[in-house]
Amino acid sequence: MTTVLSLALSVLGSWQEPPERAPVVNHLERVVVIGASMSAGFGAGRSFTQVFEASLRAPHEPVLGLGDGFLFLHPHTIAAHQVEQALDSDPTLVLAIDFLFWFGYGNLDAEGGPIELESERLELLETGLALLEDIACPLVVGDFPDMSAAVGKMLAPAQMPEKTTLPLLSRRVREWAAKREQTLVLPLAEGVAQLGSPLEIRMGRHTFPAGSKLLQPDGLHASLKGLVALSQFACDELVKHGLAREADFEFELAQVMAKLGKGIELPAGESAQR
């Protein structure tokens, strides 16, 4: 009996409460959107900030939108100010999907003078990447899509990189992101390339019929549906890379559109695939 009692007391004495699990970090608590006219929602009736907000289910503070449709006029100063404001808000996630666009497109080099050589576009990109260096939280950036359909509409010929320059710009963005923790590159180039295809358009987990109007007639800016598609794409990538959970987002397109106050009928064949 004594032996059994002693053994029991010994076990009880050595028992310790298991350590508490580290809390799951909510990277969606303070989301900040920085960028150019796409982020600002030019012509779409809603900003990307509002669209991403409508895609959120996780507890969060209101998404802070700093996107500026005039970034192309002074990309260096306006972009630097956006980053400064973003950092001041202590973000847990920064969405910079079109932030780098005018650091490859446009007609101003890294010093603010006219671009004369294509190599200057790669130097310009380094300026944009340097602005993002101090963002330590998860960051989503876009690569460089071919927006040549907008030349003569919203883009001047001098603002359009050569076809051979675009993949070099995208590759550099991926190289830069690969050296950073929790930095994702959204493949805009692949997404935009699908728009002129006779095949279905795949954006993240969603499939749209060929010919879906994800761009406005100007050939440059996303339509409201296009903004929703990009937002859903970003949400899916965040889940895939373990930076958010499935339950953190609303993945039903109709529900997102309803939150935006714009009910739409999904065309035949348009679906959300989980």
List, as one string, the DSSP characters of 201-260: EEETTEEE-TT---B-TTSSSB-HHHHHHHHHHHHHHHHHTTSS-GGGB---HHHHHHHT
- Which domains can be identified in the chain, with CATH numbers? 26-263 (3.40.50.1110)
The residue behind tokens 């669209």 is 51
What average pLDDT does this structure show over 253-264?
80
What average pLDDT does this structure show over 180-196?
92
Least confident of 22-31, 211-220, 240-249: 22-31
Has residue 264 got a pLDDT over 50? no
pLDDT for position 19: 47
What average pLDDT does this structure show over 31-43?
97
The band of 131, judged by pLDDT with boundaries at 50, 70 and 90, is very high
Has residue 263 got a pLDDT over 80? no
The band of 24, judged by pLDDT with boundaries at 50, 70 and 90, is low
pLDDT for position 272: 39
pLDDT for position 157: 96
Least confident of 22-36, 120-134, 150-164, 218-232: 22-36
Q: Which residue type occupies 107?
A: N
pLDDT for position 21: 41
- High-pLDDT (> 70) share of the chain, %: 86
- High-pLDDT (> 90) share of the chain, %: 74
pLDDT for position 199: 84
CA pseudo-torsion sign 260, 141, 81, 226: negative
Has residue 197 got a pLDDT over 60? yes
Has residue 45 got a pLDDT over 60? yes
What average pLDDT does this structure show over 9-34?
65
What's 194's DSSP letter?
G
Has residue 4 got a pLDDT over 70? no
pTM of the model as a whole = 0.86
Residue 228: which of 187, 184, 262, 197 has the closest Cα? 262
What average pLDDT does this structure show over 59-75?
95
d(CA 183, CA 39): 18
Joined together, the tokens standing for residue 86 give 């973003």
Half-sphere exposure of 147 (CA within 13 A, CB side): 31
